[in-house]
Amino acid sequence: DTAVSQTPKYLVTQMGNDKSIKCEQNLGHDTMYWYKQDSKKFLKIMFSYNNKELIINETVPNRFSPKSPDKAHLNLHINSLELGDSAVYFCASSQGVRGPSGYTFGSGTRLTVV
Amino acid sequence: AQSVTQLDSHVSVSEGTPVLLRCNYSSSYSPSLFWYVQHPNKGLQLLLKYTSAATLVKGINGFEAEFKKSETSFHLTKPSAHMSDAAEYFCVVANYGGSQGNLIFGKGTKLSVKP
């Protein structure tokens, strides 16, 4: 069983389109995250949800909107996609915001905007 | 503010020789530190973590790291490299503030292993 699963794994789309990435965790964790990895492999937090409540919202364009229907799911919707949105997006989860055991990451969604 | 600096962007070793990946941290409180590994086109896997227990931390696949407060370092080592160790390695510090928390990643060190 995959602990943190993201779909799709690959996403190729045209500029201006709207797309969503889904994330689900079966670890019973209460906190979930979205991280963005750029072309230089640098990883940066985008959003964090604890028990379905948004607790971290970094400086991210408002074209990006996370949604957490329950604590096992955190989806990412992106409007009006731009070339610069091309990156790998990782979902992660932890128990509590301090995540004493570290975070468990999904395998990533590689988004390519053409 | 919390931060980590990985001192080498690329390290190349021969199979069977020791691995040393260097990381310095900056923290305004006692830090929680992690090493993650990312194999090509794969997700991130936790190698090991330091959370103020023993200063020498053992992880998976024979890796270990030593927390040295006096040097603000958390270097990752392995006695003998395998071809399968070739990957990108990230040193990470936890950033906690009030009800928030997240992980701050270093820029990564690419480990190449030559036969």
DSSP per-residue letters across A94-107: ESSTT-TT--EE--
Q: How many CB atoms lie within 10 A of CB B114?
A: 11
Q: Do A55 and B100 touch (CB under 8 A)?
A: yes
Q: Does A14 touch chain B (CB under 8 A)?
A: no
The distance of B43 to chain A (nearest Cα, Å) reads 4
Considering only residues A100 and B24, tell me which one the structure prediction assigns the higher pLDDT. B24
Instruction: Return the number of CB contacts < 8 Å for A and B.
Output: 61
- How far is Cα A92 from Cα A103, in angstroms, rounded to an integer? 6
Are B77 and B19 a contacting pair, CB within 8 Å? yes
Are B108 and B8 a contacting pair, CB within 8 Å? no
Q: Which of A97, A104, A112 to mutate to test the interface with B (most CBs of B within 10 A)?
A: A97
Instruction: Report chain B's terminal Cα–Cα distance, integer Å.
Output: 41
The pLDDT of residue B41 = 81
pLDDT digits (tens, 9 = 90+) for A30-43: 999 999 999 999 99
- How far is Cα A104 from Cα A102, in angstroms, rounded to an integer? 7
pLDDT digits (tens, 9 = 90+) for A15-72: 999 999 999 999 999 999 999 999 999 999 999 998 888 888 887 899 999 999 999 9
Region B48-75: mean pLDDT is: 93
Residue A85 has pLDDT above 90, yes or no: yes
- How far is Cα B7 from Cα A43, in angstroms, rounded to an integer? 17
> DSSP secondary-structure letter at B29?
S
Are A47 and A22 a contacting pair, CB within 8 Å? no
Residue A103's closest CA among A47, A36, A27, A40? A27
